[in-house]
Amino acid sequence: MNRLRDKVAIITGGASGIGKATAIRFAEEGARVAIWDISEENGVAVAAEVNEILAVRYAEKEASVGSWHSGEANGKAIATAPYSKFYKVNTTSLENIEAAAAAVVDDFGQIDILINNAGITRDASMKKMTSAQWQSVIDVNLTGVWNCTKAVAPYMLERAYGRIISAASVVGLYGNFGQANYVATKAGVIGLTKVWAREFGRKGVTANAIAPGFIATDMMLTIPEKVLKMMEEKAPVGRLGLPEEVANAYLFLASDEAAFINGATISVDGGLTL
């Protein structure tokens, strides 16, 4: 239950779906969590839930051993509340992200883990897709990932430790009808991950990606039941994935157990791409 003890994690898109599940899972393993999202209401609620989880864990640990953490980060005591905080950010703005990264370091003392999870879809066939649909997805799913890593990586490199984990997709590996914009961004994320693995690996910072398949998020569950059934049948496990299952993959790559994994893209798809 302490796989991320003493770690500070930023989770983009952390206000809902896979991001929310990841924030909660990381808290269960001892990480303090910065929630980055555009949705303030949901983000504040998730941060409050994470705070409750960690407040209990800190209290239990302090009761049994006196104090969970005794170290300091950048001159700040590690075991100080808040254990989680929401930051309203627009990942398409590098200036906004740089300010948010500085705020996280000011609030928590360090950044150990970056989960580039935020993303959107604007699906249409190539014939029908507008320039606005194309650009909006590129801005969030690809440029947003670059912005966040650009802003956060220097803090990791300074401390010679970090985990950068980005959300790709199985469609980034194999393509998908009507998703030229989305597929381009996810294939781009896989490429960026390989570059960052080469650039940062010798400096103690690893970069990896997760490629989820069909996951039962709120967005996915708006799809007609007939289509959902077809998706379930495509996967050898015969069901949709759960947000918590993607969160577990994020957790593994963020942990010290994955210290020798660098530049990898791990599919979490129930065997969909076999």
Known catalytic membership, residue 250: no
User: Which residue in the list 155, 161, 182, 250 is annotated as catalytic?
Assistant: 182
Q: Which two tokens stand for residue 132?
A: 């606005």
Q: How far apart are CA 212 and CA 47, in angstroms?
A: 24
Contacts of 232 (CB under 8 A, 6+ apart): 214, 238, 239, 240
Q: Which two tokens stand for residue 209?
A: 């990606």
Q: How far apart are CA 254 and CA 23, in angstroms?
A: 12
Q: Which two tokens stand for residue 244?
A: 């918590």
Report helix, strand or coil for 143: helix
Give yes or no for a contact between 230 and 178, defined as CB atoms under 8 angstroms apart: no
Cα–chain-centroid distance for residue 74?
24
Provide DSSP, 5-48.
Answer: TT-EEEEETTTSHHHHHHHHHHHHTT-EEEEEES-HHHHHHHHH
Q: Which residues are catalytic?
A: 182
